Amino acid sequence: MTLAQIADGMAKSVMIQKVKAKRHCKPCGGKGWALAEGKPALCDVCGGDGQGRYTLAERIDITGMKITPAGYIKTWELFERWAFSELSEWENKIRKKLEGLVRPLDSGI
């Protein structure tokens, strides 16, 4: 694979993981929280979003790379984390712009 193909595959994997929920989180049933010592607490598995996570094998498969999980973790997982960070910043910028666009409409409601 070329570096361009790897970058494309990793971008695809990160976008799919961010946008397309795999399933509901099994431990919390998709609620994002569970009772801990009788009190509601964020689910430790999903971090409160209620979505199941893609496995490492699934993430590698989406990228199209033919690499072992250990090789992916050693070489590419750091780049995947960076891409998630960039995507989150982009998402926040879009949200702020949308709030600015919607705010004038809100005053007329």
The pTM of this model reads 0.70
Could you read off the pLDDT of 2-26 as tens digits, one per residue?
999 999 999 999 999 888 877 888 8
Confidence category of residue 36, pLDDT binned at 50, 70, 90 = confident
Domain boundaries, given as residue ranges, for the chain: 3-21+54-106
For residue 52, the tally of other CB atoms under 10 A from its CB is: 16
pLDDT at 20: 84
pLDDT tens for each residue of 41-100? 898 888 888 888 899 999 999 999 999 999 999 999 999 999 989 998 998 899 999 988
> Given a cut of 70, is residue 107 above it in pLDDT?
no
Kindly provide the residue ranges of all beta strands, DSSP E only, lying in 1-109, ordered along the sequence: 33-36, 39-42
Taking CA atoms, 105 is separated from 78, 94, 95, 101, in Å, by 41, 17, 16, 8
